[in-house]
Amino acid sequence: MSYHEKVYDITRQIPVGKFSTYGSIADYLHLGSARMVGWALKQIDFMDDSIPAHRVLNSKGELSGRNAFPTPETMQVRLEMEGIKVKNWKVVDYDGCYWHPQELDEL
DNA sequence: ACTATGACTCGAG
DNA sequence: CCTCGAGCCATAG
């Protein structure tokens, strides 16, 4: 299983109304670099739109990948539809919506 | 083999 | 809030 698939696998498991970050995913999968997560995610839009890539943000809760979507607003609109408030390209309630893949092991 | 480029991150100023 | 530098590593040319 390539690391892209692992990234997609984790991304698909992010709960609705929550978001995760490149760093936490890279850390959970032991990729050694958050850049790899971002790289893997940008490959998605043209191969599988069932992956909620909009729920993966940078360490500050900012929508750094908005430009890779059809329109920059797509990412924010999807997040707000799921209940995550976004202001000036960043999550308002960071601590309240943050989700770490580590929680998969605690179930 | 080498360089440049990221949906990145963290600390310092 | 913003800028820099360093560390990161798969991919593209």
pLDDT, tens only, A14-38: 999 999 999 999 999 999 899 999 9
Nucleotide C5 C1' to residue A99 CA (A):
30
pLDDT, tens only, A43-81: 987 657 789 999 999 999 999 999 999 999 999 999 999
Strand C nucleotides in reach of protein CB atoms, 7 A cut-off: 7-11
Alpha-carbon torsion, ordered A12, A13, A18, A22, to 10 deg: -70
Report the mean per-residue pLDDT for chain A.
Answer: 93
The count of other CB atoms within 10 Å of the CB of residue A79 is 21
Q: Which nucleotide is nearest to A21 (CA to C1')?
A: B8
pLDDT the model gives residue A2 = 85
Q: Is the CB of A69 under 7 A from strand B?
A: yes
pLDDT the model gives residue A46 = 63
pLDDT the model gives residue A65 = 94
pLDDT band at A93, cuts 50/70/90? very high
**R_g over Cα of chain A:** 13
pLDDT the model gives residue A49 = 73
pLDDT the model gives residue A47 = 58
What domains lie within chain A, and their CATH numbers? 3-106 (1.10.10.10)
Nucleotide C9 C1' to residue A40 CA (A):
12
Average pLDDT of span A78-90 = 96
Contact A101, A28 (CB under 8 A): yes
